[in-house]
Chains A and B, each alone.
Chain A
């Protein structure tokens, strides 16, 4: 697929003759090195070796080519040329050129108005649900927690998909097929030993590319003048891994091995979304029934069935200040927390972390326009009661129309085994200089 997109980028201009497509893009110089020692009391400061694995520093050139080829046919391709100087130094055997890579970020063809159908085929961003952060129906675009930053394009992933939409008056129907599964990217580093046991971390087990493992989704939306109601169905896989643990104890000895294998399990979701504009406030809701591969709730490696919901609102307080507030819960079904704890302890995990039956989530985001050129954004996502959080705050300064400078911080905190607890080593300050053309 990548080669196809790359090829299309190269030959597409030839199809035009004298009229060329739009070529735009940007050059981005970024520094996500671990400078957290500067504010060590606030951020968890990790060992240098770990930091080197997580750090990023280099530049990215993005070329975007897009145009309408003819009535109803258009394309949009973004190709990244990236050099990360840190990648080239991770291992003693790494060479400088190892830090360079070329990859298509996005690339699709739009066919519009085929008997009322619109088709988008190729690599595309798919954001379902109403919320930017923490939505329970935001199922399709994987996260990349390893490249968190100021711009969404850098920490969400476009997926290869066939996207068909049909509109009839106020009704929109969308059907999706994602031919192969793409997980959320998340650094995972286990200790070399747990107690007397050696630890082995296997590569993640991904669903195969077989037809029966394709992800599929349907969405039916009813749009009013200032409201929206939607039904969603999704069948695919949970993009967050479950950890399969095996413990091998050598007979008669106190030594052995623990083998950890990240696995991705089937997931089926029935969802409901709604949005309503009232005065300066946009109210939003999402709810989903998540059916996992553990109907009895007795499989330790698979999440239980659960119901999740979220309510929230975007409030434009004035032309310079906007506020977002969200609150939601997840209720695990058929879940016996005590039994889960005992079963995992019996497998050799010392004091295993087991999920709460009811989990809450609070999200807030503030955007403030300090001047015409300087903007501040603060976002915090907090999971409770096993508190773990993600914070993303940054200044965005645009001294010239096509220059953007970001200065900010990413903060992950939480107990081990929670999503953000695993990522504490990723906390850092960052800076970016972006020149658009």
Chain B
């Protein structure tokens, strides 16, 4: 599961990273301390407002490599129901993962639940949220493609950076609201470089005791529901693993049936 976890992590975090630009600067997390100013809700409100889609589906191809060597390639279908705060991943490739499905259900009160259907076991299993499965954990918790004010406290650092390509970004920091949220999220600090013109995060940094991951979106799908990530690159700063994600067959606001997002649904065809 280790590699898979990493991939899941990327997937679920991708949306936020995907709100980023085809550049690579800055390469480390801005370090400015949060300054007093607008409330957490005010800080994140413009970002949330820009993410106007309600649901989407996409085919995702993911390639994991290290030192130029391909480690894994995975293809899956993602269904995301933002209104219901639900995400579903149906694995298609490689064949040994085919039939596996992952479901994450979030609630506004922060009580989330995850489940996985393993075809090999023909069984839906509850997945612990705050095990040491850090990559999955923070991916899911961030990964409903919109920042989650119920779990995070946002603050404007006041810092501005310019990304390659010339986009100006405002740096927003986020921290878990409480210890329970911290355990669930699995990180201690998140830094978003938010494009001031488009009000979407261009780059995301994750920190535990130190920076652990950096994600950049290389291209977007521009649709009626606002920008969606199309090509993402994530670097695990510990292992050096690079995960590249490409979304295709993106469909936005198709009113995905709510019944697709249940434990029962992932156990059937």
Judge if A319 is at the interface, Cβ distance under 8 Å: yes
Decide if B123 touches A127 in the complex (CB within 8 Å): yes
Decide if A225 touches B111 in the complex (CB within 8 Å): yes
Interface stretch, picked from B19-27, B141-149, B258-266, is: B258-266
Contacts of B96 in A (CB 8 A): 398, 401-402, 404, 436
- Looking at the assembled complex, report how far the CB atom of A118 sits from the nearest CB atom of chain B, in whole angstroms: 7
Using A401-B96, A404-B96 as known contacts, say yes or no to A277 and B264 having CB atoms under 8 A apart.
Answer: no
Decide if B73 touches A24 in the complex (CB within 8 Å): no
Interface stretch, picked from B53-61, B127-135, B155-163, is: B127-135
Using A152-B121, A401-B96 as known contacts, say yes or no to A226 and B126 having CB atoms under 8 A apart.
Answer: yes
Contacts of B65 in A (CB 8 A): none
- Looking at the assembled complex, report how far the CB atom of A379 sits from the nearest CB atom of chain B, in whole angstroms: 13
Using A110-B268, A226-B111 as known contacts, say yes or no to A280 and B128 having CB atoms under 8 A apart.
Answer: yes
Contacts of B72 in A (CB 8 A): 372, 401
Decide if B94 touches A402 in the complex (CB within 8 Å): yes
Complex Cα–Cα for A132 and B263 (A): 18
Judge if A416 is at the interface, Cβ distance under 8 Å: no
Contacts of A319 in B (CB 8 A): 1-2, 5, 131-135
Contacts of B2 in A (CB 8 A): 319-320, 369, 372
Complex Cα–Cα for A277 and B105 (A): 14
Contacts of A437 in B (CB 8 A): 95
Closest to A277 in B: B126
Decide if B133 touches A316 in the complex (CB within 8 Å): yes
Judge if B107 is at the interface, Cβ distance under 8 Å: yes
Using A120-B268, A280-B130, A282-B128 as known contacts, say yes or no to A436 and B122 having CB atoms under 8 A apart.
Answer: no
Complex Cα–Cα for A319 and B136 (A): 10
Decide if B269 touches A282 in the complex (CB within 8 Å): no
Q: Interface code B58-101, partner A: CB below 8 Å = 1, 0 otherwise?
A: 00000000000001110000000000000000000011101000
- Looking at the assembled complex, report how far the CB atom of A70 sits from the nearest CB atom of chain B, in whole angstroms: 12
Complex Cα–Cα for A239 and B125 (A): 25
Using A76-B269, A153-B120, A319-B1 as known contacts, say yes or no to A118 and B129 having CB atoms under 8 A apart.
Answer: no
Judge if A208 is at the interface, Cβ distance under 8 Å: no
Q: Interface code B227-242, partner A: CB below 8 Å = 1, 0 otherwise?
A: 0000000000000000
Contacts of B268 in A (CB 8 A): 74, 110, 112, 118, 120
Question: Within A102-155, which residues are at the interface with B (CB < 8 Å)?
Answer: 110, 112-113, 118, 120, 125, 127, 132, 151-153
Complex Cα–Cα for A27 and B125 (A): 28
Closest to B71 in A: A372
Complex Cα–Cα for A32 and B268 (A): 33
Judge if A253 is at the interface, Cβ distance under 8 Å: no
- Looking at the assembled complex, report how far the CB atom of B182 sits from the nearest CB atom of chain A, in whole angstroms: 13
- Looking at the assembled complex, report how far the CB atom of A402 sits from the nearest CB atom of chain B, in whole angstroms: 5
Closest to B112 in A: A225
Decide if B259 touches A113 in the complex (CB within 8 Å): yes
Decide if A279 touches B130 in the complex (CB within 8 Å): yes
Judge if A362 is at the interface, Cβ distance under 8 Å: no
Judge if A68 is at the interface, Cβ distance under 8 Å: yes
Contacts of A401 in B (CB 8 A): 72-73, 94-96
Decide if B130 touches A402 in the complex (CB within 8 Å): no
Complex Cα–Cα for A288 and B233 (A): 51
Contacts of A436 in B (CB 8 A): 94-96
Decide if B132 touches A280 in the complex (CB within 8 Å): yes
- Looking at the assembled complex, report how far the CB atom of A27 sits from the nearest CB atom of chain B, in whole angstroms: 12
Decide if B95 touches A74 in the complex (CB within 8 Å): no
Residue in B98, B120, B264 whose CB lies within 8 Å of A172: B264
Contacts of B127 in A (CB 8 A): 277
Judge if B177 is at the interface, Cβ distance under 8 Å: no
Judge if B3 is at the interface, Cβ distance under 8 Å: yes
Decide if B132 touches A316 in the complex (CB within 8 Å): yes
Using A118-B264, A317-B132 as known contacts, say yes or no to A75 and B107 having CB atoms under 8 A apart.
Answer: no
Decide if A223 touches B263 in the complex (CB within 8 Å): yes
Contacts of A369 in B (CB 8 A): 1-2
Closest to B136 in A: A319
Using A225-B105, A402-B96 as known contacts, say yes or no to A372 and B3 having CB atoms under 8 A apart.
Answer: yes
Judge if A424 is at the interface, Cβ distance under 8 Å: no
Judge if B113 is at the interface, Cβ distance under 8 Å: yes
Complex Cα–Cα for A70 and B220 (A): 32
Complex Cα–Cα for A318 and B136 (A): 12
Complex Cα–Cα for A437 and B98 (A): 10
Judge if A325 is at the interface, Cβ distance under 8 Å: no
Q: Interface code B104-116, partner A: CB below 8 Å = 1, 0 otherwise?
A: 0101000111000
Decide if B129 touches A277 in the complex (CB within 8 Å): yes
Using A282-B128, A319-B133, A372-B71 as known contacts, say yes or no to A68 and B269 having CB atoms under 8 A apart.
Answer: yes
Complex Cα–Cα for A108 and B268 (A): 11
- Looking at the assembled complex, report how far the CB atom of A401 sits from the nearest CB atom of chain B, in whole angstroms: 4
Pairs A–B under 8 Å by Cβ, sample size 24:
A24-B95, A66-B269, A68-B269, A112-B268, A113-B259, A118-B268, A125-B122, A153-B120, A167-B264, A277-B113, A277-B126, A277-B128, A277-B129, A280-B132, A280-B133, A282-B126, A282-B128, A316-B131, A318-B131, A369-B2, A401-B72, A401-B94, A401-B95, A402-B95
Which 8 pairs, one residue from A and one from B, show the smallest C-beta to C-beta distance? A280-B131, A74-B269, A316-B131, A318-B132, A436-B95, A401-B94, A125-B122, A225-B113
Which residues in B have some Cβ–Cβ distance to A below 8 Å? 1-3, 5, 71-73, 94-96, 98, 105, 107, 111-113, 120-123, 125-135, 183, 259, 262-264, 268-269
A225-B112, A228-B126 given. 9 additional CB < 8 A pairs?
A66-B269, A75-B269, A120-B268, A152-B121, A226-B129, A280-B128, A319-B5, A372-B2, A372-B3
Which residues in A have some Cβ–Cβ distance to B below 8 Å? 24, 26, 66, 68, 74-76, 110, 112-113, 118, 120, 125, 127, 132, 151-153, 165, 167, 172, 223, 225-226, 228, 275, 277, 279-282, 316-320, 369, 372, 398, 401-402, 404, 436-437
